[in-house]
Chains A and B, each alone.
Chain A
């Protein structure tokens, strides 16, 4: 698909989640990302700074610690020539008792061209989007959505499988607390992909099947893996659990870790993905993570291209 012209726009002015995006929106993001991906993959000399968004400012407000998503956004912005303002909110006015709304109004008053927000509570970007005109990019809200992750995962799947539809994707582990899982389910369901979920029973409620008709909750991890084209592992989110939902990390690993023998249930050419950071030996066995089946480094690389595409689509032409 040729790169779309600059007039092509998303149907949304914020990126709050994957759920409100149309399949056309997603196609547009992926096609735009491919443009940046080709350049970064084929250039042997240092990647040039693209000047498309020169002079524009991206403010990153991370109310929850993050390394990879924040760095990926910063690289994406810098490659497009943007200035980035990075707020360490742990050390700022949030600690002094300023309300969330006042903090964000203050940030918006500095007139950035877009605001990237991560927060431990679900729905924070949605609340803030009602109070600011600055385009907001959700970099993860609580247990709700992590749209840029799902978009980079889609790009990675398409790179390896050539398509999103007609596949079976197994998503395994702690589904309940995972915003990555929700965004991926919404995205894949828009393309009719079969989605099989499995993990410790309290972490994979049957209600997931009501998110989309192509979702199936499987009782056993092997059932979800059977004939899968793509295996997405999720990190055990110990920090989001307010109660013990499994006996111990060792007990979890014994039954849910992606080992070579479990992976053998998937198709021989199935790829293995993980949003990172992964827990070696708990989420995923070292042999699997380090094997050629693992596309984890490719996911990270695609993250920059997808975020460049989103910045172009949401900030480009807006000023």
Chain B
């Protein structure tokens, strides 16, 4: 393969504190050189003038649905959507059918992913079947290649079991990713509990249903010393508990989704099931708190919680529809629009949230532009205006609340190990 020379780009690499015009040379799938001016007559040239060149984005929270729900998404379609969204790697949540709670399922997912355009980091279940009762085979899954454990979709509600799992995670250097939801406080709820749920006559999920388990989890992380990562936080109170735990030296990180920092519970007003997800869309005050946290470091990562559902499943009334929205192909644009173009965060911070920190949380290579390392690179145009059409996206499912939105900023090319996984 010919070398590839990416010229004239604005290279943003938080790990190196770099935000400047640079050229990059990619050879044999690796980053061979990074300099102010590189000349290589034998190389293919990619002109990145007016574009941002960043270490590859890693989505910590994706549901690829395979095995079991191939009508909604497959490893192949989900990773294609990831590439189109500027992601070079995704962490695949274990709530498939069967659940990824054994080395066998982990190996199957990795085998499917070997043919896909981006890297897949399987997340193993904490408990068998994510049923919350018995520990899953965490050590065997670790040997097979999982990069984190989670019962996502459900909390690990038994505190004793969570403690045991954290003890394993400490020894195996795996993060435990918890979905914070008190099942009793949240029971039967379909949207945020507040004025809108009351108005619409829909059962509410109070903010406290998320906040109480955040507090519990951080205390257990402190007790065990293990690494805790909190999925899709959505309330001001949840972030407050994370801030306190971080000040207290607890090894805790957290992520926020683009839909939670963009929309409020008012989006449910027409009973549109595309606004139904768990955790639910919260209030304007919560959105403001999430944006603050994304800016000041309380939040470590932006993750999509990409949750595909087939039209058949989602084309029903609000109460009956399943929770979840897709997000891989709109995440970068929403972050640029809602965080960068509003001057809440810099491009350095944006890349930190999409790449540097996710790599660190998963403990994987990447998240930086290191000479000699595999060339996983995201190139995007922070200015390009485009209209998102869910039906034309790479994901097999179309359940997005942003369908038809005109957005500012878009991925232009996604390189995984030096190859174009996506090119606009």
Contact status B316-A145, CB under 8 Å = no
Tell me whether A74 is interfacial, beta carbon within 8 Å. Answer: no
Which A residues are in CB contact (< 8 Å) with B316?
A: 99-101, 127
Within the assembled complex, what's the spacing in Å between the Cα atoms of A179 and B198? 11
Nearest Cβ in chain A — how far from B209, in angstroms?
14
Contact: A144 with B270, CB < 8 Å?
A: no
Chain A residue with Cβ nearest B312: A99
Pair B320/A242 contact, Cβ less than 8 Å: no
**Docked pose: A205 CA to B273 CA in angstroms:** 25
Determine if A124 is an interface residue (Cβ-Cβ < 8 Å): yes
Q: Which of A285-319 contact B (CB under 8 A)?
A: none
Residues of A within 8 A of B199 (CB): 19, 182, 211
Render A194-224 as a binary contact track against B, CB cut-off 8 A, 1 for contact: 0000000000010110110000000000000
**A87 contacts B by Cβ under 8 Å:** no
Nearest CB in chain A to that of B316: its residue: A100
Q: For A182, what are the chain B residues with a Cβ–Cβ distance below 8 Å?
A: 199, 201
- Cβ of B296 within 8 Å of any chain A Cβ, yes or no, is no
The verdict on A43 contacting chain B, using a C-beta distance below 8 Å, is: no
B200 contacts across to A, CB distance below 8 A: 122-123, 144
With A122-B200, A123-B271 known as contacts, the answer to whether A142 contacts B187 (CB < 8 A) is no
Is A70 on the interface with B (CB-CB < 8 A)?
A: no
A121 touches B187 (CB 8 A): no
Across-interface contacts of A122 in B (CB, < 8 A): 200-202, 271, 318-319
Query: Which A residue sits closest to B199, measured CB to CB?
Result: A211
Nearest-neighbour CB distance to chain A for B269, whole angstroms, equals 10
Q: A208 is contacted by which of B187, B188, B198, B319 (Cβ under 8 Å)?
A: B198
Are A121 and B319 in contact (CB-based, < 8 A)?
A: yes
The reply on B47 being an interface residue by CB < 8 A is no
Assess whether B315 is interfacial by the CB under 8 Å rule. yes
Give the distance in Å from the alpha carbon of A124 to the alpha carbon of B202 in the complex.
Answer: 12
A144–B317 CB distance below 8 A:
no
Instruction: Report B306-327 residues with CB < 8 Å from chain A CB.
Output: 312, 315-320
Number of residues of chain A lying within 8 A (CB) of chain B:
25
User: A161 contacts the other chain (Cβ, under 8 Å)?
Assistant: no
Contacts of B29 in A (CB 8 A): none
Whether the Cβ atoms of A101 and B319 lie closer than 8 Å is no
A59 close to chain B: CB less than 8 A: no
A284 to B307, CA, bound (A): 48
Q: Which residue of B lies closest to A126 (CB)?
A: B271
A18 nearest CB across to chain B (Å): 12
Q: Which among A127, A141, A144, A207 has the highest number of chain B CB atoms within 10 Å?
A: A127
User: Is A124 a contact of B317 with CB atoms below 8 Å?
Assistant: yes
Is the Cβ of A141 less than 8 Å from the Cβ of B201? yes
Contact A144-B201, Cβ < 8 Å, known A100-B317, A121-B317: yes
Given contacts A99-B312, A242-B187, contact A127 B317 (CB under 8 A): yes
In the complex, chain B residues whose CB is within 8 Å of the CB of A57? none
> Does B145 have its Cβ within 8 Å of any Cβ on chain A?
no
Residues of B within 8 A of A145 (CB): 201
Instruction: Contact check, A126 vs B270: say whether CB atoms are below 8 A apart.
Output: yes
Q: How far is the CB of B5 from chain A (nearest CB, A)?
A: 51
Task: Tell me, yes or no, whether A35 is within 8 Å of chain B by CB.
Answer: no
Contacts of A243 in B (CB 8 A): 187
A144 vs B199: C-alpha distance in the bound complex, in angstroms? 7
Are A242 and B188 neighbours in the complex by a CB distance under 8 Å? yes
In the complex, chain A residues whose CB is within 8 Å of the CB of B44: none
CB within 8 A of A210: which of B187, B195, B202, B318? B195
Please determine whether B318 and A127 come into contact, CB atoms closer than 8 angstroms. Answer: yes
CA distance A169 to B317 in the complex (A): 33
A119 at the A/B interface (Cβ < 8 Å)? yes
B195 touching A100, Cβ below 8 Å? no
Q: Produce 1/0 per residue, A237-250, CB < 8 A to B.
A: 00000110000000
Complex Cα distance, B270 from A205, in Å, reads: 22
In the complex, what distance in Å separates the CA atom of A101 from the CA atom of B312?
10
Known contacts A100-B320, A123-B271; A211 and B198 CB within 8 A of each other? yes
Say if the beta carbon of B194 comes within 8 Å of chain A: yes
Within the assembled complex, what's the spacing in Å between the Cα atoms of A272 and B129?
Answer: 55
Within 8 A of A (CB), among B187-234: 187-188, 194-195, 198-203
Whether A143 sits at the interface, judged by CB under 8 Å, is yes
A210-B198 in contact (CB<8A): yes
A102 to chain B, nearest CB (A): 10
Report the Cα distance A121→B202, complex, angstroms: 8
Within the complex, the shortest CB–CB distance from A35 to chain B, in Å, comes to 32
- Supposing A99-B312, A242-B188 touch, asked if A123 and B198 sit within 8 A by C-beta, the answer is no
Instruction: Kindly state the separation between the CA atoms of A86 and B312 in the bound complex, as whole angstroms.
Output: 27
Q: Chain A residues with Cβ under 8 A from B312's Cβ?
A: 99
Q: Which residue of B lies closest to A181 (CB)?
A: B201
Residues on A with beta carbons closer than 8 Å to the beta carbon of B317: 100, 119, 121, 123-124, 127
Instruction: List A residues at the B interface (Cβ < 8 Å).
Output: 19, 99-101, 119, 121-124, 126-127, 141-145, 179, 182, 205, 207-208, 210-211, 242-243
Chain A to chain B contacts (Cβ below 8 Å), 27 pairs: A99-B315, A100-B316, A100-B320, A101-B315, A121-B319, A122-B201, A122-B271, A122-B319, A123-B200, A123-B202, A123-B271, A124-B317, A126-B271, A127-B271, A142-B201, A142-B319, A143-B202, A143-B203, A144-B200, A144-B201, A144-B202, A179-B201, A182-B199, A207-B194, A211-B195, A242-B188, A243-B187
Q: Which 7 A-B pairs have the closest CB atoms?
A: A123-B271, A144-B201, A143-B201, A121-B319, A122-B201, A126-B271, A210-B195
Q: Kindly list 20 other residue pairs between chains A and B, CB separation below 8 angstroms, not including A99-B315, A121-B318.
A: A99-B316, A100-B316, A100-B317, A100-B320, A101-B315, A101-B316, A121-B317, A121-B319, A121-B320, A122-B318, A123-B271, A123-B317, A126-B271, A127-B271, A142-B319, A182-B199, A208-B198, A211-B195, A242-B188, A242-B203
